[in-house]
Chains A and B, each alone.
Chain A
Amino acid sequence: MSSLPLSPTFKRILLEALILTVLAFTVGLSANYKLVMNAFTGKTVVAPIEQPVAKAPPTTTVVTQAFPDPIELDEIDELLSEGALLVDARNIDDYKAGHLKGAISLPLGKIDSMLASFSQQVAEDQTLILYCNGFGCPDSFDLGILLIEAGYQQVRVYEGGFPEWRDEGRPIEEGLQ
């Protein structure tokens, strides 16, 4: 842009721009230190809100991808009171050992064999709250993607999962429901 890109003036501008960037980076990092640290250590309280990402129609077909929205613990009660269904994405042994009260089991590893019966029992407009073993556990998110692909429209992921629920003293059930 400058007609004198290597002039002392431009070098000074460059240096000041660099300082400005570092300063903003420092301020931003200081203001959001916890958020960033949680993200890098896998303890993110709220995941990025992935919006449905649709492929623009290149020719005649439209490919649609969608991701489940995250939900926090304090939002769950409201959704449950409205009839949302808790879905445990962990394996069946973990489910039997203890799960969120009222949750049904739909292990990610068994989705191929269980999806048909799940679809028969649960309507596609049913709000689903999926969970697994807390932060860093991808099963609920992955299950959410599969359920959305299967036609479910209201799929949320509770990232705190079983550990956070238990640690908050929320009701737990054991065995198969």
Chain B
Amino acid sequence: MSLLLTVVYHLSRLTLAGVFLYAGYIKADDPVAFAGQVANYQILPYAWNFLVAATLPYLEVMCGVLLLLNKRVRPALLVLFVLNLIFMLLLSYTIARGLDIDCGCFNPDSESKTSPLMALWRDAGLLLLMISAWLLRYRQSLPEEGDAGE
């Protein structure tokens, strides 16, 4: 793989790692506030908002760590890809219902609000990064533990 593509791969990987480490960490730090943001979507039953808030940030953090370490990159990307698709579906549904809520993507205590539409565009960008990282990972020859033969 050319140097340019290698650089693009690592940039994509590290950007995604940074985004999801940050997003996961601050949400894991305040699960109750995050549960409130999940509840704003008005989709899950009351208690299930807490279950999502208790577990989802850890998934984001673990995927972020793997991307940062350049280990198990494609499993991590696959998880994040699926999560991102779910987020985008939720955001689209939220926009369709006309709910004007904070997306809850990052800091649950933040005063600033990210509208569902803005979050949707951001997720679309992340999705592109994931796809590029996946494809470049597939093509590139960087060794990865457990990925021999890819």
Cross-chain contact of B99 among A1, A20, A50, A56 (Cβ < 8 A): A56
A123 at the interface (CB under 8 A from B): no
Cross-chain contact of A35 among B54, B62, B98 (Cβ < 8 A): B54
A44 at the interface (CB under 8 A from B): yes
**Dominant secondary structure of chain A at its interface with chain B:** helix
Q: Which of the segments B2-10, B11-19, B39-47 contacts the partner chain?
A: B39-47
State the CA gap A103–B149 with chains docked (Å). 71
**Dominant secondary structure of chain B at its interface with chain A:** helix
What are the residues of chain B within 8 A of A31 when measuring CB–CB?
28, 54, 58
Q: Which of the segments A8-16, A74-82, A161-169 contacts the partner chain?
A: A8-16
* B113 closest partner in A (C-beta): A51
> How many chain A residues touch the partner (CB < 8 A)?
37
30 contacts between A and B (CB under 8 A): A2-B138, A13-B74, A13-B75, A14-B78, A17-B76, A17-B78, A17-B79, A20-B62, A20-B75, A24-B59, A27-B62, A28-B56, A29-B51, A31-B54, A32-B55, A35-B32, A36-B47, A36-B54, A39-B47, A47-B36, A48-B49, A49-B33, A49-B36, A50-B39, A53-B40, A53-B100, A54-B100, A56-B98, A56-B99, A56-B100
19 more A-B contacts (CB under 8 A) besides A1-B81, A48-B46?
Answer: A13-B74, A13-B75, A17-B75, A21-B59, A23-B62, A24-B61, A25-B55, A28-B54, A29-B51, A32-B31, A36-B54, A39-B46, A40-B50, A46-B32, A47-B36, A48-B50, A49-B37, A55-B99, A58-B98
Residues of B near any A CB (own CB < 8 A): 28, 31-33, 35-40, 42, 46-47, 49-51, 53-59, 61-63, 66, 72, 74-76, 78-79, 81-82, 98-102, 131, 134-135, 138, 146, 149-150
